[in-house]
Amino acid sequence: MIRHLRTRVLSLLRFPSHLPAAHLVPLHCLLSTTVSISPKPFSVKDFLVTDCGLTREQALKTSKRLSYLTSLSRPAATLAFLSARGVPRSDIAAAVAADPRILSASVDRVLAPRFAELTEIGLSPSQIVDILSIRRTGSLRGNLLFWIQTLGTYQKMLRLAKSNCDLLSANLEKVIKPNLDTLRECGVSAFDIAGGSMYSTRLFTVKHEVLMGAIARVEELGVERGSSMFHRALAALSFLSKDILHGKIQLLRKLGFSQDELVMIVKKAPQVLALSEKKIQRAVEFLMRDVSLQAPYIAQRPVLIMYSLEKRLMPRHSLLEVLRQKGLLGVEWDYYTTAALAERKFVQKFVDPYKSSFPGLADDYASACLGKA
């Protein structure tokens, strides 16, 4: 029988099979024991809404920052960990909306150690997840204690950290404390900076030599240490190179401002120098050409250069010109007064009283403010 079987096998090897090719199965397929299973489909947006508590609108925006996910195993583990620690669903949603990458943080290597560390200094689970949505690396414990002590409350520290997350990780001894000491010497306190813009808070964490260079440039422009505008000038100019700053000064000179007027602009509104050259030129040319203002007038009120040209200055000027031509203004209003009015008050004063006399006036003005005119 064995001899017969051997003969049969040899014959199969020597002579091709008469079976159609479609019936032949490759040998590797017969030998393979691995079964290919498609991964279970998942929806990040649905997970964010159903499990994390985000709104559909938030989830649509947030999911784009989680496009790298290949499964929901780690986000589900993160969510389970935070829930087990007593973090309310609303706080989890806020943290995920602030930084979706918190869902990818390792529970064992990041979240659990950070929770243990920050619980020791008295932070609640909700406060800890707030911090971890801002920064999860660096010397959190030391920096948090320093800023809470410096500013007085956790909430003040949190507002500051949200505007500049580097405050929670920058080196205290080499960066933050030396910068604070230098700022105090200039008459600027931590509270002065904390109440300012995002750019102001960066003064705490820039390299010390960058801060010293900015101080020198501000003083060269005539802004004195201790003045109310000194820290604003620092915030506006500390991240501008000397060449860029020189270019903007030269542009203002070219537009007709004298040296004394330049000093006045910098002292009153140093943020003007943080604007682009295009913005500065268009605003000044409009104010001089269309509104017929003189350089000294603008220098006394440099905030005019900072107002939106398309959404504020031009629509208001056009509307007032119409009312002026119709003889409806009564008295001649100071231009700065009309430009500086809050939008609601401007509409109440110069739009609402004339709606019945000029059908469509309010709609035309609103469209102009939106850039649709």
d(CA 97, CA 225): 41
Residues in the chain: 373
d(CA 271, CA 40): 54
CA dihedral 328→331→337→342, nearest 10 degrees, is -40
Q: pTM here?
A: 0.68
Q: How far is CA 28 from the centre of its chain?
A: 56
d(CA 231, CA 183): 8
The count of other CB atoms within 10 Å of the CB of residue 198 is 10
Q: Per-residue pLDDT tens, the chain, 373 aa: give them.
A: 444 434 443 343 344 444 444 444 444 443 344 444 445 556 889 999 999 999 999 999 988 999 888 889 999 999 999 999 999 999 999 999 999 999 999 999 999 999 999 999 999 999 999 999 999 987 799 999 999 999 999 999 999 999 889 999 999 999 999 999 999 998 888 887 776 555 578 889 988 988 898 898 888 888 888 887 888 888 888 778 888 989 999 999 999 999 999 989 988 888 899 899 999 999 999 999 999 999 999 999 999 999 999 999 999 999 999 888 888 887 889 999 999 999 999 999 999 988 888 888 888 888 888 876 5
Nearest to residue 315, comparing CAs of 276, 269, 373?
A: 373
Helix (H, G, I), strand (E, B) or coil at 292: coil
The count of other CB atoms within 10 Å of the CB of residue 191 is 12
Q: Give the type of residue at 363.
A: D
d(CA 321, CA 292): 13
Residue 21 pLDDT? 43
CA distances from 361 to 53, 158, 219, 326 (A): 44, 45, 48, 13
The 10s digit of each residue's pLDDT in 235-257 is 888 778 888 989 999 999 999 99
